[in-house]
Amino acid sequence: MLAFGHLGLTAAAFKTCSKLNTHEFRTTNYIFVFLGALLPDLIDKPSEFLLNFIFYGKVSVSGRLLAHTLVFSLIIILAGCIIFYRSQDPNMLILGIGSLIHIQLDLMWLFPSTYLYPFLGLDLPIVLQRSKLFAEYSFFFSTGFMLILEALGIVILVKLIRSKV
């Protein structure tokens, strides 16, 4: 999924939860929602680009390394729970949940060696085969489902901005 889909769908999830949830989450800081929604890509895309360039002399990027693992999001969520418990500050927790939503929207469970790293082995695939990536995503590309999600993300963002988030 691309940026608008991540931003819009994650913001919609938080907006929906904020209507249902406790007082602390009603004052959701959407800077952390948007940061969490993009955090795995913000970390992994430049990291993988550099690693591939340094070690393999290539610049191909799938953008899925450690920040796209389940354990990465769970560590941030755990840290967020501790901070929330101590200071009632939900921002780290929001960041972790946003990151967790990101890897679900990226369909990372289709790549278990990355998604469940290090539980299936310590060899994190530095280069995720682009052909495999597109084979897994072919359904979404062929049906236009990905484009629909991006358009939906833009519509949600416009609606949230108009309602002043």
**Least Å distance between CB 27 and Zn ion?**
28
Nearest to 8 by CA among 164, 159, 162: 159
Please answer whether residues 62 and 127 qualify as being in contact, where contact means their C-beta atoms are separated by less than 8 angstroms: yes
Pick 5 or 90: Cβ nearer Zn ion:
5
Amino acid at 68: H
Residues that bind Zn ion (CB under 5 A): 40-41, 106
Pick 28 or 44: Cβ nearer Zn ion:
44
Please answer whether residues 99 and 67 qualify as being in contact, where contact means their C-beta atoms are separated by less than 8 angstroms: yes
Cα gap 1→101, rounded to integer Å: 12
Pick 41 or 48: Cβ nearer Zn ion:
41
**Least Å distance between CB 53 and Zn ion?**
19
**Least Å distance between CB 64 and Zn ion?**
6
